[in-house]
Amino acid sequence: MAKDVNSSRTMASNHKAATVLANGCFLILCCLIAFPLLAGLLASFRPGRELVQNGLAINFDFSTMTLDNYLYLFGQKGENSRVDSAKYFMWYKNSLILTILTVVLTLLVCYFIAYGLTMYKFRLQGFLFFLVIATMCVPFEILMLPLYQEVTALHIINTRAGVILPGLCGASTIFFFRQYMQSLPKELLDAARIDGCTEYGISVKIMMPITKPAFASMAILCAMGSWNNMLWPMLVFRDTSKFTLQIGLNTLLTPYGNNYDLLIAGSMFGIIPILVIYLFFQKYLIDGMTAGAVKG
Amino acid sequence: MEKFKKALNSQKVAPYVFVLPFILSLIIFWAYPLISGIVMSFQDISFGGRTFVGTAHYAKLAKDKFFWTAVTNSVEYMVLTLVLLIPIPMMLAVLMESRLTKAKGVWKVIMYIPALTSVVISGMLFRMMFSEAAGSQMNQMLAFFGQSPIAWLKAKGTAWVALLLLCMWRWTGVNMLYFLSGLKSIDTSIYESADIDGANARQKFWYLTLPLIKPTTIYVVTISVYAGLSMFLESFMLWNGNSSPKNIGLTIVGYLYKRGIEKNDLGYACAVGMVLMIIALIINVIQLIATGTFKREEK
C-alpha cells in the first residue's frame, strides 16, 4: 500500500517535470521566433545608418531611441521626408487596393467554380477536377516568362488586371471550397428548387451564407498571399507610381544604405495590416490552411 | 429568349456556366503559357523575331556551369529543407498535442507570425542579423564565444546557415499546424487500446501516429519539394539582388530570372524552366510511388 502511494508520487513528479520541459521547449522556441521581429522593431527606433554600419542586433539601450524614423515615414521631419512619405503611402494604398480587389474577385470566382464542380453531376466533372489538381503541379515560376509575354501582348501589362487575372482561379482556393461544400447537405438545393429558386439564385442566396466560414478562411490566406506577393507584381508593374509596398520597399534596399531610415520603419509599419487580420481571424486561418492536409 | 433562359437554368447547363471561368482561365493563363513555354524553349527569341533552333538551348544548358551550380544549389536546398522542415515540425506537433503542453493557443499564434512577413522584410531582417559588421547579432554571438566576426553571407557554409534559418523561421510554425491538423483527425480510442496493450510512447509514435498521419506527411513533403526547388526570392533578398558571391545563392529560378528578365534571353530561360519542371515531376512521381499513393488508389 505504502509502495503504491510512493510510486504514484514519483509518477506525479515525473509528469510535472515533463510538463515543465514541454512548455519550456515551446517558450524557448517562441522567443527565438520572436527574436528577429523584436530586433527589427527595436531597430526601427534608431537611425537607419546604424543598421547598415552595425547590422541588426537586439539592443535594449532605450536612451538613444527616437521616433525620428516614424516621423520621417509620416512626412513630419524635413522637406525630403514629405516626398518620401507620399511615395511610401502611395505604395501602401496600391497594396491595399490590390489586396482587396484580389481577395474579393478570387473568392467570388473560386466559390462559383467550386459550386459548379461540387453541387452537380455532369460529364466533365471528374476531368475538370483533375485539371484543377494538375494546375497545382506546375510551379508558377515556369509559366512566369511566357505569361509575361502574353500579358504584354494583351496590353494589360503595368495594370492591376495584369497582376490579378492570371491568378484569379487559384487551384487551392477552388479545392478548399470544394472540400467544404462536399460536407454540406444537397437536399437544401432540391427544397429551394421546389420553391422556384433558379440555379444561380440558389448558389447566391442559399449556399453562400452557409459557406461563410470557408470564405473567412480563404479571405485571410488570399489576403496574406496578395499583400506579400512580390515576384509577379514586380514583373507586371513598371511605373514607380504603381508599385506595391513590397516592390517599393525592395527599391529602398540600395547598397549605399541611404534609405534605411524609411526602410526599417516602413517594413515594420507594413506588417501591421496583415498582423491585425491574422490576430482577429486566426481561428479561421488554421481551418483553411489545413484543409488540404487531412484528406491528402 | 424565354426558352434560352429556361435552358440556362436547367441542371444540365448550369454547372458549365459555373465552371466557365475556370475553363477560360485554364486555357488562357495555364495551358497557353505552358505550351508557349515549351515551344519557346526550342526557339531563339530576339526583337527581330523567333527562329527555331531545335534542342540547341538544351545542349548549351548541359555544358553551362552556372546552370549546374543553380541546379545543385536548388536540389541541395530542397533536400536540406525536407530534412529540417518535416521531422522537427512533426515532433513539435506531437508535443503540442500532448496533455503536457499548456497555453497551446499562445504558442500556435506566435509560431505562425513569421509566415505573415513578406520575403522582403524577413530577408532584410536576416541579412542584417547576419551582416559582417561586428555589431550584428550573429557576430555578437560569436564574440560571446570568443570568436572574431566573420562575413556570414560570403562563404557558402555560413551563408546557408542564414538561408536555412530564414526558411525554418518562416515555415516551422506552418508545417507544425499542418501536422497538428493531421493528428486531430486520428481517433483517440486507438491510443487508449494501445495503452491497454502496454505500448510505450515510442511504440505508439512509430506504429500508430506515423502511419496514421501519412496523408498529411505526403502533402507537406509535396509542397516542400515544390517550394524548395523553385526557391528564388529568399536568396534574392538575402543577397540583395540576383548575384551572390561565387553564385552560392544562385537557384534554378534565379538563373531563369537572370537569363529571361535581366538578359532578355527568353528562349534559353524557358529551357531552364522546362528542366525545373521535369525535375519537379520526377521527384514527385518517385515520392508518390515510394509512399504507395498510387497503390492505395488502385484498391
> Which residues of chain A are within 8 Å of residue B25 when distances are taken between CB atoms?
165-166, 168-169
At B176, list the grid cell.
Answer: 507544425
Predicted pLDDT at A4: 56
Q: Which amino acid is at A104?
A: V
Predicted pLDDT at A51: 83
Q: How would you classify residue B240: left for phi > 0, otherwise alpha for psi between -120 and 50, otherwise beta?
A: left
Average pLDDT over residues A1-21: 71
Contact B121 A295 (CB under 8 A): no
Predicted pLDDT at A1: 46
* φ, ψ for residue A237, nearest 5 deg: -80, 130
Question: How far is residue B28's CA from residue A66's CA, in Å, rounded to a whole number?
Answer: 52
Average pLDDT over residues B104-119: 91
Predicted pLDDT at B164: 96
According to DSSP, the residues that pair with B46 across neighbouring strands are B49
Q: From the list A34, A40, A116, which residue is nearest B18 (CB)?
A: A116
CB–CB of A88/A73 below 8 Å? Answer: yes
> Which residues of chain B are within 8 Å of residue A147 when distances are taken between CB atoms?
29, 33
Question: How is A220-276 classified by DSSP, letter by letter?
Answer: HHHHHHHHH--HHHHHH--SGGG--HHHHHHHH--TT-TTHHHHHHHHHHHHHHHHH
Contact B102 A23 (CB under 8 A): yes
> Which residues of chain B are within 8 Å of residue A55 when distances are taken between CB atoms?
128-133, 135-137, 139
The tens digit of pLDDT for each residue in B112-124 reads: 999 999 999 999 9
Contact B14 A200 (CB under 8 A): yes
A28 touches chain B (CB under 8 A): no
The tens digit of pLDDT for each residue in B161-199 reads: 999 999 999 999 999 988 988 888 888 888 888 888 888
β-strands B43-46, B49-52 pairing = antiparallel
The tens digit of pLDDT for each residue in B138-165 reads: 999 999 998 888 999 999 999 999 999 9
Predicted pLDDT at A6: 60
% pLDDT > 90, chain B: 55
> Which residues of chain A are within 8 Å of residue B230 when distances are taken between CB atoms?
139-141
Question: CB neighbours of A116 closer than 8 A, spacing ≥ 6?
Answer: B14, B15, B16, B17, B18, B19
Angle ∠(B28,B31,B34) on CA atoms, nearest 5:
115
Task: Please state which of the ranges A8-17, A32-41, B218-227 shows the lowest mean pLDDT.
Answer: A8-17
**Which residues 160-199 of A have a C-beta within 8 angstroms of B?**
165-169, 174, 198-199
CB pairs under 8 A between A and B: 275
Q: Say if residue A128's pLDDT is above 90.
A: yes
Average pLDDT over residues B246-269: 92
At A25, list the grid cell.
Answer: 521547449
Contact A138 B269 (CB under 8 A): no
> Which residues of chain A are within 8 Å of residue B19 when distances are taken between CB atoms?
113, 116-117, 128
**Which residues 65-84 of A have a C-beta within 8 angstroms of B?**
none
The tens digit of pLDDT for each residue in A240-253 reads: 999 999 999 998 88
- Which residue of chain B comes nearest to A127, CA vs CA? B23
Predicted pLDDT at B299: 37
**Which residues 271-290 of A have a C-beta within 8 angstroms of B?**
271, 274-275, 278-279, 282, 285-286, 289-290
Question: How far is residue B47's CA from residue A43's CA, in Å, rounded to a whole number?
Answer: 47
The tens digit of pLDDT for each residue in B16-72 reads: 999 999 999 999 999 999 999 999 999 988 777 788 988 999 999 999 999 999 999
Question: How far is residue A150's CA from residue A234's CA, in Å, rounded to a whole number?
Answer: 16
Contact B21 A145 (CB under 8 A): no
Contact B37 A145 (CB under 8 A): yes
**Which residues 97-126 of A have a C-beta within 8 angstroms of B?**
109, 112-113, 115-117, 119-120, 122, 125
The tens digit of pLDDT for each residue in A15-53 reads: 888 889 889 999 999 999 999 999 999 999 988 888 888
